[in-house]
Amino acid sequence: MPKLKTHKGAKGRFHVTGSGKILRAKCGKSHFRRRKAPRTKRLYDRMIPTSNADAPRLRKLMPYS
C-alpha cells in the first residue's frame, strides 16, 4: 500500500498533542490587531481544541500525526 500524503495546509494550521487532541488557533488573529485590547490579543495567542465532529476529517488530512 502506498504512503499517504499529509495535507500541507492542515499541517500548518493544526497541532496534535501527545494525548491525540487536535488544537487550532483562533480566527481574526492578525487583522486590526493594533486596535484590540492587550487582554484580547493574549487570548488569540492560545491554541484551543477543535470540535469532536471535525476530528475524524482532520485525522484523514494528517495521517501520521
CATH number of the domain within which 37 lies: 4.10.410.60
| pLDDT, tens digit (0-9, with 9 covering 90-100), for 14-26 | 999 999 999 999 9
| pLDDT, tens digit (0-9, with 9 covering 90-100), for 52-61 | 999 999 999 9
CA distance 1 to 3: 7
Asked whether residue 45 is assigned to any structural domain, the reply reads yes
Q: How confident is the model at residue 33 (pLDDT cuts 50, 70, 90)?
A: confident
Q: Which domain holds residue 12?
A: 8-61
Q: Quick one: which of 21, 29, 28, 30 has its CA closest to 51? A: 21
